[in-house]
């Protein structure tokens, strides 16, 4: 095989591996392209990829010959040690438009999600500043009025407690019904109002009624839903149910033998996911609902322990899995791979 033929094959593989379609599905290579702020990838790293290793046979200079065949598509750095694609102006515009569309989509989802959360939440004022209330005690205090999803203690800039909290219930009705109650916490009367009404009031007071301005700081909120009805089901069973239903689920963990929690993809809110289900929020034998603070905390704990185990030792080579590990699996087993292309 001549060097020209090898260079052509290397160029063909470069075109394939840097293609938009491959970058959308190849997480490993996409992360490799993001390690350098300007998109450079060292020839040494590229040469370790199986498809190139076979063609190069140890001669990385063949990358230069491949680049010379398409100087408008790829380029080498001045040291001839790294390579990157040359973005076409049309492609850059298209990527920028896609990014703007996705940002707008996320903005719409976020604002809608916040509004739905506010409608099923309440603002409560009148708690003692010292000692500040404990979340677990607050959950116990409000649970008689409905299932509590989330409690947030409001704080000053110096992190001191403001004496007020936000409580998110499972439904709008729960948040509405409690407004007529006269609540007393440790002999102190509490003032209650719907969170959305409180937000609207503050928006009028401080910002003359201007709408919330969305700012994309590059971070994405993580959304979760819980499920029950998993008795007798294993990791593969639940994974199959979720993957067959939607590409919007990212990962799940069992909480116990019959229940678990699912982390959704960035562009899917809990309310949107629940809206895709049948009456009663059913999906096969599983029943879904909004995830509580407690369930989310357990999810994070399990993911952290799985990460630590994988990267800091874990069981020795040849060690046996416990029954619990077989049941719940580590991060690799529980991460979902959807058959459809997932959005960013």
Q: Is residue 311 part of a domain?
A: yes
Lowest mean pLDDT among 19-23, 107-111, 184-188: 107-111
DSSP string, 214-273: P---S-----EEEEE--TT--HHHHHHHHHHH-S-EEEEEESSSSEEEEEEPTT--HHHH
Cβ 321 vs Cβ 202: under 8 Å: no
Each residue of 267-324: pLDDT tens digit?
Answer: 788 999 999 998 889 999 999 999 999 999 999 999 888 888 877 755 444 444 444 4
The answer to the question of residue 111 being in a domain is no
Please tell me the predicted confidence (pLDDT) of residue 219: 58
Q: Is residue 340 part of a domain?
A: no
pLDDT band at 25; cut points 50, 70, 90 = confident
Buried-state track 143-155, b at ≥16 Cβ within 10 A, e below 16: eebbebbbbebee
Q: Provide the pLDDT confidence category of residue 102 given band limits of 50, 70 and 90.
A: low
The string of pLDDT tens digits covering residues 117-144 is 999 999 999 999 999 999 999 999 999 9
Tally of structural domains, the chain: 3
Query: What was the pLDDT predicted at 259?
Result: 96
Count how many Cα atoms sit within 13 Å of the Cα of residue 288 in the half-sphere of its side chain: 26
Q: What is the pLDDT of residue 215?
A: 53
pLDDT exceeds 70 at position 211: no
280 or 155: which carries more pLDDT confidence? 155
Strands 184-185 and 259-264, sheet pairing? unpaired
pLDDT digits over 161-172, tens only? Answer: 999 999 999 999
Q: Are residues 193 and 130 in the same domain?
A: yes
> Is 112 a residue whose pLDDT tops 90?
no
Q: Are residues 31 and 121 in the same domain?
A: no
- CATH number of the domain to which 27 belongs: 1.10.10.10
Supply the CATH number for residue 291's domain. Answer: 3.30.70
Is pLDDT above 70 for 199?
yes
Instruction: Report the percentage of the chain scoring pLDDT > 90.
Output: 53
Query: Token digits for 344?
Result: 């960013």
The predicted pLDDT at position 72 comes to 86
Instruction: Using the 3D structure, point to which of 86, 101, 130 is the last residue of a domain.
Output: 86
The CATH number that applies at residue 147 is 3.30.70.330
Q: State yes or no: pLDDT of 252 exceeds 60.
A: yes
Average pLDDT for the chain:
83
What tens digit of pLDDT does each residue of 168-198 get? Answer: 999 999 999 999 999 999 999 999 999 999 9
93: in domain? no
267 within domain boundaries: yes
Residue ending a domain, among 177, 207, 237, is: 207
Task: Specify the pLDDT at position 328.
Answer: 39
Domain that holds residue 259: 224-334
- Say what the pLDDT of residue 326 is: 38
Residues 169/120, Cβ–Cβ less than 8 Å: yes
């Amino acid at each position: 095989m001549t060097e020209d033929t090898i260079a052509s094959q290397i160029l063909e593989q470069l075109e394939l591996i840097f293609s938009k379609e491959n970058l959308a599905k190849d997480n490993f290579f996409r992360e490799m392209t993001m390690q350098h702020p300007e998109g450079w990838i060292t020839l040494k790293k590229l040469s370790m990829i199986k498809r190139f290793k076979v063609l190069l046979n140890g001669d990385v200079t063949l990358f230069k010959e491949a680049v010379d065949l398409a100087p408008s598509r790829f380029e080498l750095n001045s040291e001839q040690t790294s390579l990157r694609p040359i973005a076409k102006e049309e492609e850059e515009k298209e990527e920028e438009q896609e990014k703007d569309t996705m940002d707008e989509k996320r903005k719409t989802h976020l604002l809608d999600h916040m509004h739905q959360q506010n409608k099923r939440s309440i603002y409560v004022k009148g708690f003692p500043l010292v000692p500040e209330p404990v979340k677990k005690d607050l959950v116990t205090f409000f649970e008689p009025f409905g299932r509590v999803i989330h409690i947030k203690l409001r704080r000053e800039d110096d992190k001191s407690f403001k004496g007020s909290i936000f409580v998110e219930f499972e439904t709008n009705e729960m948040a509405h019904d409690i407004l007529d109650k006269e609540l007393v916490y440790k002999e102190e009367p509490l003032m209650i109002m719907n969170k959305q009404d409180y937000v609207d009031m503050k928006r009028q007071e401080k910002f003359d009624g201007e709408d919330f301005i969305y700012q994309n700081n590059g971070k994405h909120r993580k959304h979760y839903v819980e499920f029950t009805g998993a008795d007798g089901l294993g990791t593969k069973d639940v994974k199959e149910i979720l993957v067959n239903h939607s590409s919007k689920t990212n990962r799940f963990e069992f909480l116990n033998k019959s229940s678990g929690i699912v982390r959704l993809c960035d562009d899917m809110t809990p309310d949107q996911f629940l809206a895709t289900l049948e009456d009663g929020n059913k999906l096969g034998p599983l029943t879904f609902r909004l995830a509580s603070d407690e369930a989310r905390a357990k999810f994070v704990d399990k993911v952290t322990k799985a990460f630590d185990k994988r990267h800091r030792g874990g069981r020795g080579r040849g060690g046996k899995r416990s029954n619990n590990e077989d049941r719940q699996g580590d991060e690799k087993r529980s991460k979902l791979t959807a058959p459809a292309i997932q959005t960013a």
